[in-house]
Amino acid sequence: MRIKSIRNRTVSSEPSIQRNHSKEMTRQEWWGLAVLLVAGLGIRIGYGGRYAGFVSDQELFVQWMNQVREYGLGSVYLHNSGINYPPLFLWLLSGYGALMQLLGITVDPGSLSYKSILIVLDMLALAVVTGWSAGNADKRLRWLALTAFALNPVLIVNSAVWGQVDILNGMLMAGSLVLLLLSPLGAGILFALALLTKLQSIIIAPVLGMYVLRELRNRRLLPLLWIVIGVCIPFVVTSLYFASYGSMQAMIRAAYLSAVGMYTQVTMNALNIWYYLVGTAPDTSDTVQLVGILSLRSIGFVLLLLAVLYAGVYLWKLRTITTATLLKAGVWVSFAFFMLPTEIHERYSIPALILLLFTAMLDRKWIGLAALLSLTITYNLWKVVNSQLEATGGMFVAGLHVIALIWMAMLMLLELRNNRNNAKLHL
């Protein structure tokens, strides 16, 4: 009986950390959270008011906001085919514009009148992480991560300075992976909402897919059905809404197809392997063929495919899937998406960092990576937004990013080996 019980014991791949997961917050912790909120909000307001940021992006967003309010969300893509963002952010902008009008405030690019919506999203992200991490993460790691969300320079520069909305799709991607084991339906809904925010969110689809394959291997069909239902709910509602205005095709063409292949440079200021490291200057066209067979663009896709396959092997071979392992696979594919394909923008690294901050709350071995990328991504964003990116510093940071990618791969490989050794010990 004892031998049988040992053989049937599940070997968890969750890292061995000291559990201190009380959901109740003490008075000191409430004060600590208040300090983080005030500090994070104050820094964002200060930097947002001091630096105009990437005004051309903000001018587009304000223009879109005004057009949505003029024509309505259902018709705006018919009147402006240049809107290359999916509708969720436009919907938020429309509501924000209505609120500002009610308050008698004119929304101007480069000012807090526009950036306030992004600062609010940052603070909401901190609130969500606070709620989720209670009872799910070791208290010390939790507070380290909360501090990172409140004061992380990447998030501050991206929203309060630059004026971009990557915090939204990044949090939705993280939420989808976090909910996957607990509620496949909720995971599907959040994944669909992430896609309705930015197309780049599609990169975590292989993680969801590999989880589904594992469940099918174990003859469990319900997770697949719930995920599909969850994905369909937002998309069916969205499709019916735009179809009622006769703008469904216009929305898909503008929001999901128009931006693909718009820029043919090997890198759009992303400090990845294409930033001189493989012998290509940033403005090299990715249509150039190597040995007359494959274009640089195709090579980038092949490299990304190999990275996705690595994530698949990682998830497939683990004895037990946990939230931590799903997040790690998500970090890997998201950062590989930033590092390996061509035509990548500097901000595409932000979802990977958000997933990494969630991961660091569950496994302290990933804290070093989170600290490194918080610094290097900040450098990338700050230099670009101030038009100061230069080759020497950029190549150095791109090299650090290569090290970070290898570091992630080694952590995943070591976890696989430890998982296999633990499984042998329990046989």
Residue-wise pLDDT tens digits, 176-192:
999 999 999 999 999 99
Please, what is the Cα angle at 174 between 305 and 37, to 5 degrees? 140
Residue 182 has a CB neighbour count (10 Å cut-off) of 10
pLDDT over 70 (residue 173): yes
Q: How far apart are alpha carbons 413 and 420 in whole angstroms?
A: 11
Is beta strand 267-268 parallel, antiparallel or unpaired with respect to 344-345? parallel
pLDDT over 60 (residue 19): no
The confidence score (pLDDT) of residue 424 equals 65
Q: Burial letters for 50-59: b for 16+ Cβ neighbours within 10 Å, e otherwise?
A: ebbbbbebbe
pLDDT over 60 (residue 14): no
What pTM was computed for the model?
A: 0.91
Which residue type sits at 196?
Answer: L
Residue-wise pLDDT tens digits, 313-342:
999 999 899 999 999 999 999 999 999 999
The confidence score (pLDDT) of residue 21 equals 53
Q: How far apart are alpha carbons 249 and 369 in whole angstroms?
A: 42
Domain segments of the chain: what residues?
A: 261-427
Q: How far apart are alpha carbons 418 and 143 in whole angstroms?
A: 28
The confidence score (pLDDT) of residue 13 equals 37
- pLDDT mean over 406-412: 98
pLDDT mean across residues, the chain = 91
Measured CA distances, 12 to 210, 214, 366 (Å): 18, 15, 18
Q: Residue 258: which pLDDT band, with cuts at 50, 70 and 90?
A: confident
- pLDDT mean over 155-164: 97
List 267's β-bridge partners, or say none.
344
- pLDDT mean over 357-375: 96
Q: How far apart are alpha carbons 63 and 93 in whole angstroms?
A: 10
- pLDDT mean over 34-56: 96
The confidence score (pLDDT) of residue 423 equals 64
**Residue 345 backbone phi and psi in degrees, to 5:** -85, 160
- pLDDT mean over 2-27: 46
Taken as a whole, the chain contains a residue count of 427
The confidence score (pLDDT) of residue 10 equals 35
